[in-house]
Amino acid sequence: MMWAGAPPSPPQLRQIKETIRRPATLRRMTHPDPAQSDRAAVFRAEGVTRVYRTGAVAVHALRGVDLRLDEAEMVVLLGASGSGKSTLMNILGALDPPTEGRVFFRDRDLTRASDRQLTAFRRDHVGFVFQFYNLVPSLTARENVALVTEIARDPMTPEEALARVNIDHRMDHFPAELSGGEQQRVAIARAIAKRPEVLLCDEPTGALDSTTGVQVLEALAQVNADLGTATVLITHNADIQRIADRVVVLADGRVVRDEVNTERIAPSEVSW
């Protein structure tokens, strides 16, 4: 638990410094500015705040966030623990409403949608990937993906989804028979099988070592390149920002940086 006003602990300080260190390939830009982009916006967040109230205590997790995500864009969302990354992702994915502000998916105002419309929005348009894979242990990799393809409107086959993230050779294995990185790739296959326009990934490499983490980043980069899936990749590893088209840094519930990355590196070049 971080108390407002308390000095950050040494590990938190290290994380904050890592976040502030910016690679030379990042170019400062102002977003949202429609004139700067020739691509259509998939998401637009305007003045988004989120206050969590627990008894008498109010936590201001987001303090007025403006953000735009364009078609086919790979955005890394970076920030220290507690900076509001998960809160923002949950609001974009309509898992949680903002306290104030607007969130648009294309030209639809999600903050005015009914619960039913939001459920349909999540089902049809958004893929989620979380730190801990959330696979069903009693089902094989293929069956885990099939759970989604059976209810989607225009899905790819489980085999194709698994092949796109290079895990089709383990299709008939159960989660317990797979490494963390392999399980995460099955989770990504499950998320992309319905061909979502947006993939929201919350610390997808957070529980992985460098080798398996790189494989997961490669899978995400591959999907982004092949299918043009707009991707938000949350991380607190500052080096991962170098694989992005754009980097957005949150600190204390605010966007403190929003920059284009001019030289994207391959996931295999990321240092852990």
Binding site for Mg ion (CB under 5 A): 86
Residue 10 CB, shortest distance to ligand ADP, in Å, is 18
- Residue in 205, 34, 200 with CA at minimum distance from that of residue 127: 200
Residue 195 CB, shortest distance to Mg ion, in Å, is 26
Q: Which is nearer to Mg ion, 82 or 181 (CB)?
A: 82
Q: Which is nearer to Mg ion, 101 or 204 (CB)?
A: 204
Residue 81 CB, shortest distance to ligand ADP, in Å, is 4
Q: Which is nearer to ligand ADP, 60 or 123 (CB)?
A: 60
Residue 134 CB, shortest distance to ligand ADP, in Å, is 17
Q: Which residue is nearest to Mg ion (CB)?
A: 86
Residues that bind ligand ADP (CB under 6 A): 52, 54, 59, 61, 79, 81-87
Q: Which is nearer to Mg ion, 131 or 179 (CB)?
A: 131
Q: Which position has the token pair 């796109």?
A: 164
Which contacts qualify for 16-22: CB closer than 8 Å, 24 or more apart? Answer: 16/80, 16/251, 18/236, 18/238, 19/78, 19/79, 19/80, 19/236, 19/238, 19/249, 19/251, 21/238, 22/257, 22/259
Find which of Mg ion, ligand ADP, none residue 81 binds, CB within 5 to 8 Å per kind: ligand ADP
Q: Which is nearer to ligand ADP, 253 or 267 (CB)?
A: 253
Residue 213 CB, shortest distance to ligand ADP, in Å, is 18
